[in-house]
């Protein structure tokens, strides 16, 4: 799958509807026609995903791969292509695990808040490993808790949605909060400028007398 393929919508894991699939393993070897359930178990046992790459065929062709890594690589290339034109207003991502501890949640939410303050949209994703994928309710519960704790500073751009082994929401800065952040930043710059002017006046005062 090439760079342009990231723009397609792939059926991944439980999204695949076919009863049987033509399976290609993680090394690119064709394993022949297999029941969907068996193909899914092979992928999960490897900690990978089953991705439908040729739905138009009968049976459809599915490949075992790390869909999250594939998506990450493509998004990183897109970010690098945009770098230099603007460092704000882009989609950033913060990842969580289904059984993340409270201390780690606080650190991740602090990171989300910083990205929102910069004017970015943020995808908050829960990454499932192995058979964690069979308990998506853990991810839904975690994302609900996170969005509730961020509701004063963000608005929900996209409701929770599964993408391979990721369950994600997209948040954008709440307009009123974003404007308040801009005002705070301007005030901080103004205070720093006044301090610098004061320091210059102090240096110019005769005998080292500080100007009050």
* Total domains in the fold of the chain: 3
CATH of the domain at 25: 3.10.20.80
Is 57 in a helix, a strand, or coil? Answer: coil
The residue among 187, 182, 183 whose CA lies nearest residue 117 is 182
Same domain, yes or no, for 104 and 161? yes
Q: Is residue 95 part of a domain?
A: yes
pLDDT of residue 184: 61
pLDDT of residue 81: 66
Q: What is the 3-state secondary structure (H, E, C) of 140-207?
A: HHHHHHHHHHCCCCEEEEEEEEEECCEEEEEEEECHHHHHHHHHHHHHHHHHHHHHHHHHHHHHHCHH
Contact 23, 65 (CB under 8 A): no
Q: Tens of pLDDT along the chain (212 residues)?
A: 443 344 457 889 999 999 999 999 998 899 999 999 999 999 999 999 999 989 999 999 999 999 888 788 777 877 776 664 445 467 899 999 999 999 999 999 999 999 998 889 999 999 998 888 889 999 999 999 999 999 999 999 999 988 888 999 999 998 877 777 766 655 454 455 445 444 444 444 344 333 32
Same domain, yes or no, for 168 and 110? yes
CATH of the domain at 113: 3.30.110.10
pLDDT of residue 89: 61
pLDDT of residue 210: 32
pLDDT of residue 183: 60
Same domain, yes or no, for 167 and 95? yes
Query: b/e map of 51-74 (b: 16 or more CB within 10 Å)?
Result: bbbebeeebbbbbbbbbbebbeeb
Residue 185: domain span? 176-204
Same domain, yes or no, for 47 and 118? no
Region for residue 28 given its phi and psi (left: phi exceeds 0; alpha: psi -120 to 50; beta: otherwise): left
């Amino acid at each position: 799958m090439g760079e342009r393929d990231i723009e397609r919508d792939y059926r991944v894991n439980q999204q695949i509807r076919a009863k049987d699939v033509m399976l290609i393993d993680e090394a690119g070897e064709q394993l022949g026609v297999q029941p969907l359930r068996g193909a899914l178990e092979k992928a999960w046992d490897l900690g990978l995903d089953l991705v439908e790459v040729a739905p138009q065929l009968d049976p459809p062709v599915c490949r075992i791969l790390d869909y999250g890594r594939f998506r990450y690589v493509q998004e990183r290339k897109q970010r690098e292509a945009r770098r230099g034109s603007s460092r704000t207003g882009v989609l950033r991502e913060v990842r969580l695990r289904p059984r993340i501890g409270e201390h780690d949640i606080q650190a991740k939410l602090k990171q989300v808040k910083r990205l929102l303050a910069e004017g970015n949209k943020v995808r908050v994703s829960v990454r499932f490993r192995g058979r964690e994928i069979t308990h998506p309710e853990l991810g839904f519960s975690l994302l609900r808790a996170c969005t509730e704790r961020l509701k004063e500073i963000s608005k929900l751009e996209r409701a929770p949605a599964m993408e391979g082994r990721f369950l994600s929401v997209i948040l954008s800065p709440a307009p009123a909060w974003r404007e308040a952040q801009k005002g705070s930043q301007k005030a901080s710059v103004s205070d720093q400028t006044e301090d610098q002017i004061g320091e210059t006046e102090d240096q110019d005062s005769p005998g080292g007398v500080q100007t009050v």
